[in-house]
Structure 1
Amino acid sequence: MHVREESLAGVLTFRPTPHRDDRGVFTRTFDAAIAAEHGLAPDAFVQDSQSRSRKGTVRGLHGRRGRGEAKLVRCARGAVLDVLVDARPSSPTFGRSLAIRLDDEEFTTLYVPPGLLHGFQALTESADVCYRIDRPHAPGEDIAVRYDDPDLAIEWPLPVTAMSERDRAAGSWRELLAELSTELSTEAGR
């Protein structure tokens, strides 16, 4: 398995070597020892989730306030364009985004550290995305930014065909920056 550091601080991709023959394909999608070699605590992940989306669907951009949430994300069926935005004010890559294609051919797993916004667009007729998350879901900590925020200028490859009402009503990047600034000021005053 090849591990690569991506352009956003702390983001890793785990790229396995699929074994293909006349029966099909076999690949390892997770290896705790390799994850640990790269600073992850594999036993820290407490929840696995899966979504299925139709072509053109956008999910995100989602994150969590407070200490955030780490994720391992992979596409088990089809293909997606996975997008991350660094929302960590103290990060050297704060405000930058990264887009990576995840699919069921390469089996790449993306490590998303706490403090990043995450979203994706389904590129195939149907796409299944699997998430391994390090914290139970706490709806009160959810944050979201609109997928089409002009300050982020994310280039989605397809017309958007579907999204949740929550994502449609998400705030702007500037509004999130103001919230983060207020939260940091409050924490500094404690």
Structure 2
Amino acid sequence: MSRIGKLSIRLPDTVNVNYSESEVTVKGKFGTLQTKIPNTISIKQDNNSLQVNLKSEARSDRSLHGLYRTLINNMVIGVSEQFQLTLILKGVGYRAAVQGKEIVLNLGYSHPVKIEIPKDISVEVTQNTTINLKSCDKELLGLFASNIRAWRRPEPYKGKGILYQGEQIIRKAGKSAK
């Protein structure tokens, strides 16, 4: 049995979970999330907790046990608290701004980079170089943050680029003159 899969999921009072044989829907104050689950996984709800169990002990089923428990737990946390990521722009002239439904980045290219903001994500720019992203969907939030970061990955010589908050860049020494 999976060490993660056998843990119960604590449900806050503000979260409502509905499930059928193939779908789980979680509703909370920050939104509604749903996901499909395989038929080999069953869900049992007690007072303020949720238990994810296996119907069979086949190897392929056991491999999904911890995964789906974590996915459902992330849904519960997301609709009750929201997930937050912070990106920091590091470099001369690098800045960001939100204009309508898109984020505009000046990253040293000859043109500004415009990225469409998904409807489930809220974006806030502070001090022109700090981008705060919030969403109840952890997967969508991480994907959007990695799409922004892909425009200027941190480079090891000067440390310029788009960094996650708290990320350390291992610096390399440049060429040395003879």
Range of TM-score over shorter length: under 0.3
Higher RCO (CA < 8 A, seq sep 6+): 1
TM-score by length of 2: 0.27
TM-score by length of 1: 0.26
